[in-house]
A and B are shown apart, each in its own frame.
Chain A
Amino acid sequence: DAGVIQSPRHEVTEMGQEVTLRCKPISGHNSLFWYRQTMMRGLELLIYFNNNVPIDDSGMPEDRFSAKMPNASFSTLKIQPSEPRDSAVYFCASTPGQSYEQYFGPGTRLTVT
């Protein structure tokens, strides 16, 4: 089975541009999570979905960030406008249920100049 798929793997953009990160969870998994990893803050949750519904978005830094999950096999994380402090690795993870571990995608390394 394919694991969690994220695209792009690397993104370099200029400040002010819109950035869209994509995630395809493992088929059959009903929970999807977006995490961000930085040197300063480590791994932190941004938002998660259960059955395509956003449950907790308290980790989303500000209104510039938005996430959607239009169906069970696709999610996006959008940053508009992007800022240099958004530079980080963004991970998507999915899990089939509460008793299971989360499976992480390879991450998207975002650099905003």
Chain B
Amino acid sequence: AQKVTQAQTEISVVEKEDVTLDCVYETRDTTYYLFWYKQPPSGELVFLIRRNSFDEQNEISGRYSWNFQKSTSSFNFTITASQVVDSAVYFCALRRAQAGTALIFGKGTTLSVSS
């Protein structure tokens, strides 16, 4: 069975703080994809990153970074120097490697950044 757990329901930080959103997944597949999506207050789902299970390199994109560790089945997301505009719900998701399979989402973490 496939499952994604985001244990942090809500996180509140003050601007410029660093924050890490945790994601733990379960799968028996050896090949799979992991994703992070952002859902701002406006409601749309914005793609942030896709990671193939064979690629454990960490990735940095501006203030965003992702730490993928197969040994602990985790795919954590860190925002450095958070900003108010980062306030949103963040979803981690898992997808099997077969063509066209659907995303399995975690419950999401609501991040609130205050000024």
A interface residues (Cβ-Cβ under 8 A, vs B)? 30-31, 33, 35, 42-45, 48, 50, 55-56, 89, 91, 93, 95, 97-104, 106-107, 109
Report yes or no: B103 in contact with A42, Cβ–Cβ below 8 A: no
Complex CA gap A31/B107 in Å reads 24
With contacts A42-B107, A43-B91, A101-B35 known, is A107 near B43, CB below 8 A?
yes
Find chain A residues with CB under 8 A from B70 CB. none
Give the interface SS of chain A, mostly helix, strand, loop or mixed: strand
Complex CA gap A35/B103 in Å reads 9
Closest B-chain residue to A89, C-beta based? B43
B interface residues (Cβ-Cβ under 8 A, vs A)? 33, 35, 37, 43-45, 47, 50, 52, 91, 97-108
Tell me how far the C-beta of B52 lies from the nearest C-beta in chain A, rounded to whole angstroms: 8
Closest A-chain residue to B99, C-beta based? A98
Complex CA gap A45/B106 in Å reads 12
Report yes or no: A106 in contact with B102, Cβ–Cβ below 8 A: no
Find chain A residues with CB under 8 A from B104 CB. 45
With contacts A42-B105, A43-B91, A101-B35 known, is A55 near B100, CB below 8 A?
yes
With contacts A42-B107, A43-B91, A101-B35 known, is A91 near B100, CB below 8 A?
no
Tell me how far the C-beta of A36 lies from the nearest C-beta in chain B, rounded to whole angstroms: 11
Complex partner residue of B44 from A55, A95, A106, CB under 8 angstroms:
A106
Tell me how far the C-beta of B39 lies from the nearest C-beta in chain A, rounded to whole angstroms: 9
With contacts A91-B45, A104-B44 known, is A98 near B105, CB below 8 A?
no
Complex CA gap A17/B3 in Å reads 35
Report yes or no: A104 in contact with B35, Cβ–Cβ below 8 A: no
With contacts A42-B105, A89-B43, A104-B44 known, is A98 near B100, CB below 8 A?
yes
